Amino acid sequence: MKFRVIVFISFFFFGASSNSDAQSYQDPQQHACLKCHSNQSYTFHNDVTGMEVKRLMNPYYILDTVAISAGVHKSFDCTDCHSAEYEAYPHQANLKLEPLSSCLDCHGGDESYAKYKFEEIQAEVEKSVHHKAYGEDFSCSKCHNQHTYAATARNSDNVLEIVDYSNKMCLSCHNDMKKYKLVSGHNNPELVEVHDWLPNQALHFQHVRCIECHTEVVDSLMVSHNIVGKEQAVKKCVECHSADSRLKASLYKYENLQKRSENGGLGNVLTNSSYVIGTHQSPFLKLLSIIIFLATLGGVIIHSIFRILKK
């Protein structure tokens, strides 16, 4: 028997942040979902043999409850997105054929979510190479897992964390032979070979997101969603390594530009440990340059004081 993934949002096993949260997360129906969908196996009663049967759970239907508890949908009930008929166990097989609600079914046309610009994001997705190839089959959930998605780019002040979280979404398909072939119909290319033109591959993969080079940047959106074809991908170093770097409108749109406005130019140089726009930053060289600058400035001041005293 196969089970459909059921949204389980619960702090029952991890603690809750408040009494009201604890009450909502201790819903018996949510516990019933977790009983199967957080474990490697599940059991059911076989009415034909009259015996309890234990089976391995489909790995795609096993939920990471720790990741869910940190996601944006953590306060949802399972049946907010899934049919209420899933409350019956064992689940009816035909329920798997029912389409799930889309993101715009909840977020579209709602003033409380207007600042996130879901309609504009959807318009950009429809321009992307993925949507052109697969149409409506390529939904938000292909990249953003509804159970565990967290708005990292908007909320994190750690660029490396943003890069890691974003790239894992891309690699979940582009570095997975089975999932890639399921969607594309052919074997996935080796990413290292495809990017053999890129110098210092490892550093680039660790410090910039895939979408930095593979999207059309839109100033009005926090994250670009128009994934362009490989022929249109950025391959000129100067696009990023210049004073007018495209990273200002993408990776550093929120984190670095906000810090610049708060701390000023000098404050940002002294506090920002991430990649510096328009340069190849080395933390050691950065520290060394600051020491040299301060030593030079101190030498000039001391020299001036001695000249004044001598006169």
Distance, CA of 30 to CA of 22 (rounded, Å): 12
pLDDT in tens, 94-130: 998 888 778 888 888 888 888 889 999 999 999 999 9
Least Cα distance to 209 among 247, 255, 183 occurs for: 247
| All structural domains of the chain with their residue ranges | 1-100, 106-274
Distance, CA of 124 to CA of 64 (rounded, Å): 30
Amino acid at 60: Y
Sign of CA pseudo-dihedral 256, 287, 263, 261 = negative
pLDDT band at 267 (very low <50, low <70, confident <90, very high): low
Amino acid at 225: H
* pLDDT for 30: 58
pTM: 0.69
Consecutive H or E run containing 68: helix 65-69
Mean of per-residue pLDDT scores for the chain: 80
Spacing of C-alpha 124 from chain mean position: 17
Which residues lie across from 41 on neighbouring strands? 56
* pLDDT for 281: 53
Sign of CA pseudo-dihedral 9, 15, 17, 20 = positive
CA dihedral 73, 1, 180, 205 (to 10 degrees): 40
